[in-house]
């Protein structure tokens, strides 16, 4: 009868309604409880003997192979299937009934999900089950949610097989190849003695950062505890003397030559006084611009030739179609000028193709590996961009291999091996005990409601382009707050009202408590359950007065330093009717 969807989401959005209307399920969980739900479904699978034993035996580690793993997370949290089974069956919180109490998902639906995913058919064949996760999962309790998701997927045989894979969703354009490795040995951050990447936001909030170069980000509003970051770091930038004035920079007038020596003198003096300097590099001004000391105008795709790949690792050339405006330059060019002026070698690129070909060497052995493409191009007397252009809009999926003189892409990862020392998958332990104290700490109290966040189909990310397209901007000219009808009635709120969301206990990057708020237009809808609200993640290019992340915690996941964006909370109050009450549609958006 075709594929059926199981949608896990605190919101009953269009996708959830679509799934239910076609024989699937919507598991409408309480924000942050994914670990329990994932483990409960896996427990039902195992208790019924529905696990994919053939896959487990051939593609996952045994005890000896697990003992040979060296990655600290696999050493600390890795398990064989037998260990995973023992872990799940020993914890009664993962029974369907107990999990229902924690997650809000009925026990019968937990059992239904397990049956749909794993129960063999009458002929003995197994369902072709794939799992996809997105930000709702890993922007909660990041490690535990993702680990429990992976354990469930492996138990039903999802991994590197046709119709049976695990992957992140989304269509993000992944244009980055990492350069030098991060110097973790110098980072003060660790988990039980294992080094983590530096939490730059906390470092800055503690007053230990003197210069920040923000490239293509709104920074403050894109992080947890947004208002706290803006207040704390903003004071280091704008309140520490001396401040740079236009007359300092351009003593001959705004059109005169820049006095570089004077600019450096002022900025260095501020740094010496404990302040901070911010450089912003972007294609548009945004909410961060008011904090920046100087701007570096960048040229995006379309204004230079760029190679990019999206979620399925499809490498394509995006050709230049116009010149950049004014003094805007490609990011690689700006970085190269700084590198050369600092006296470093290796920044003598002449164009974006030079960068692309050099970066290929850094891609070797990774899921982004395109060394073979560059090698083949050079053997044919061509440039990498030229060969990619010949491949057209289809491009080719990385990692790329050269077989019999032809390029061969990889449509599916992990067909032959996983990225472990043994080449076999390791069951990771996603333990509710590790996150339950944080969940209780973040949970709403009294009259507070959960404040989770989303994106909408009408807008993308920070709306850098969309807010400049009138028909898109007019659809949502202000941030919205989805609120359940019962919660709205109890607070005297109607669709189109301005509301204020206030959290007097935002746990910040430094561990302190901070009071923060943001405003939005109410959107009364049964998409969200009672007790839960939802707002746009990064509205208006990071407008701080509408920043939903202001009421989300700044404390990161201790195992990997990732934010818990989905776990905000606050008291919601009506302030007035908005000017959009009769001009913006508040019709249901979850019609299947």
* CA separation for the pair 36, 232 (Å, rounded): 36
Question: Model pTM?
Answer: 0.95
pLDDT on residue 402 = 96
- DSSP string covering 196-242: ----HHHHHHTT---EEEEES--GGGGSSSHHHHHHHHHHHHHTSSP
pLDDT value, residue 171: 56
Convert the pLDDT of each residue in 101-134 to its tens digit: 999 999 999 999 999 999 999 999 999 999 999 8
The CA-based dihedral angle spanning residues 86, 91, 97, 100, taken in that order and rounded to the nearest 10 degrees: -110
The arrangement of secondary structure in 433-577, i.e. its CATH architecture, is: Beta Barrel (2.40)
Average pLDDT over residues 427-433: 97
Centre a 10 Å sphere on the Cβ of residue 190 and count the other Cβ atoms it contains. 11
Residue 257, pLDDT above cutoff 70 = yes
* 6-171 matches 433-577 in fold: no
Structure tokens at 42: 């896996």
β-sheet bridge partners, residue 330:
299
Residue with tokens 């000896």: 64
Residues across the chain: 592
* Number of C-beta neighbours around residue 489 at 10 A: 12
pLDDT band at 459 (very low <50, low <70, confident <90, very high): confident
> For 340-373, how does the pLDDT look when each residue is reduced to its tens digit (9 = 90+)?
999 999 999 999 999 999 999 999 999 899 999 9
Question: Does the pLDDT value for residue 170 go beyond 70?
Answer: no
Where does the pLDDT of residue 174 fall: very low under 50, low under 70, confident under 90, or very high at 90 and above? Answer: low
What pLDDT, on a 0 to 100 scale, did the predictor assign at position 542? 87
Whether 143 shows a pLDDT value over 70: the answer reads yes
CATH 3.20.20.220 fits 6-171, yes or no: no
Range 557-585 average pLDDT:
95
Q: What is the dihedral of CA 132, 135, 140, 142, to 10 degrees?
A: 70
The pLDDT assigned to 172 comes to: 61
Q: How confident is the model at residue 1 (pLDDT cuts 50, 70, 90)?
A: low
Give me the percent of the chain exceeding a pLDDT of 90: 86
- Per cent of the chain over pLDDT 70 is 98
pLDDT bin (cut points 50, 70, 90) of residue 173 is: low
pLDDT at 91: 98
d(CA 187, CA 202): 12
- Tell me, what's the pLDDT at 462? 77
Give the pLDDT band of residue 463 (cuts 50, 70, 90). Answer: confident
Q: What are phi and psi of 51, to 5 degrees?
A: -65, 155
- Bridge partners, residue 194, by sequence: 191
Tell me if 565 sits within 8 A of 453, measured CB to CB: yes
Across the range 470-482, mean pLDDT stands at 92
DSSP, res 60? B
CB-count exposure of residue 492 (10 Å: 0-12, 13-18, 19+): exposed
Give the start-to-end residue ranges of the domains of the chain.
6-171, 314-408, 433-577
The string of pLDDT tens digits covering residues 4-29 is 999 999 999 999 999 999 999 999 99
Q: What is the pLDDT of residue 254?
A: 76
Query: What was the pLDDT predicted at 74?
Result: 96
Average pLDDT over residues 528-538: 95
pLDDT at 177 over 90: no
Model confidence at 253: pLDDT above 90: no
Tell me the pLDDT of the chain averaged across its residues. Answer: 94
Token digits of residue 203: 């470092």
pLDDT reading at 179 higher than 80:
no
């Amino acid at each position: 009868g075709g594929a059926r969807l199981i949608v896990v989401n605190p919101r009953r959005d269009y996708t959830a309604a679509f799934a239910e209307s076609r024989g699937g399920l919507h598991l409408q969980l309480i924000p942050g409880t994914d670990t329990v739900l994932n483990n409960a479904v896996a427990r039902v699978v195992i208790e019924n003997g529905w696990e994919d034993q053939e896959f487990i035996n051939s593609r996952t580690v045994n005890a000896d192979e697990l003992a040979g793993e060296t990655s600290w997370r696999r050493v600390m949290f890795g398990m064989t299937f037998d260990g995973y089974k023992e872990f799940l069956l020993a914890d009664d919180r993962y029974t369907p009934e107990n999990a229902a109490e924690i997650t809000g998902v009925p026990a019968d639906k937990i059992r239904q999900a397990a049956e749909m995913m794993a129960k063999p058919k009458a002929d003995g064949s197994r369902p072709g089950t794939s799992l996809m996760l997105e930000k709702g999962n890993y922007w909660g309790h990041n490690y535990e949610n993702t680990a429990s998701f992976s354990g469930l997927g492996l138990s039903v045989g999802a991994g590197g097989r046709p119709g049976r894979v695990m992957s992140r969703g989304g269509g993000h354009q992944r244009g980055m190849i990492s350069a030098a490795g991060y110097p973790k040995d110098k980072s003060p951050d660790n988990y039980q003695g294992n080094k983590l990447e530096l939490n730059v936001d906390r470092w800055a909030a503690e007053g230990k950062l003197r210069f920040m170069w923000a490239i293509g980000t709104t920074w403050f509003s894109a992080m947890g505890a947004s208002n706290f970051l803006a207040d704390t770091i903003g004071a280091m930038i704008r309140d520490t003397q001396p401040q740079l004035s236009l007359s300092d920079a351009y003593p001959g007038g705004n059109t005169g030559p820049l006095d570089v020596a004077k600019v450096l003198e002022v900025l260095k003096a501020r740094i010496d006084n404990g302040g901070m300097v911010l450089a912003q590099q972007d294609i548009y001004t945004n909410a961060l611009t008011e904090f920046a000391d100087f701007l570096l105008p960048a040229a995006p795709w379309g204004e230079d030739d760029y190679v990019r790949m999206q979620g399925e690792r499809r490498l394509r050339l995006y050709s230049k179609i116009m010149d950049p405006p004014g003094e805007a330059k490609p990011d690689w060019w700006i970085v190269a000028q700084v590198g050369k002026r600092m006296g470093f070698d290796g920044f003598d690129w002449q164009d974006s193709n030079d960068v692309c070909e050099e970066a290929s060497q850094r891609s070797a052995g990774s899921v982004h590996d395109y060394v073979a493409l560059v090698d083949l191009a050079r053997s044919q007397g061509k440039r990498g961009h030229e060969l990619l252009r010949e491949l057209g809009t289809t491009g080719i999926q990385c990692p790329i291999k050269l077989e019999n003189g032809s390029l061969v892409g990889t449509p599916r990862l992990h067909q032959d091996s996983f990225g472990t020392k043994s080449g076999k998958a390791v069951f990771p332990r996603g333990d509710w005990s590790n996150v339950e104290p944080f969940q209780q700490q973040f949970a709403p109290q009294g009259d507070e409601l959960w404040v989770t966040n989303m994106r909408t189909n009408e807008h993308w990310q920070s709306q850098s382009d969309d807010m400049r397209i009138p028909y898109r901007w007019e659809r949502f000219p202000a941030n919205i707050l989805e609120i359940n009808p019962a919660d709205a009635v109890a607070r005297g709120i109607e669709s189109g009202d301005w509301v204020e969301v206030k959290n007097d206990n935002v746990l910040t990057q430094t561990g302190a408590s901070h009071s923060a708020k943001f405003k939005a237009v109410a959107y009364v809808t049964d998409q969200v359950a009672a007790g839960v609200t939802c707002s746009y993640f990064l509205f208006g290019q990071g407008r701080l007065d509408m920043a939903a992340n202001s009421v989300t915690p700044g404390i990161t996941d201790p195992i990997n330093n990732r934010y818990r964006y989905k776990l905000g909370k606050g008291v919601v109050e009506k302030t007035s009717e908005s000017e959009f009450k009769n001009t913006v549609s508040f019709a249901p958006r979850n019609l299947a």
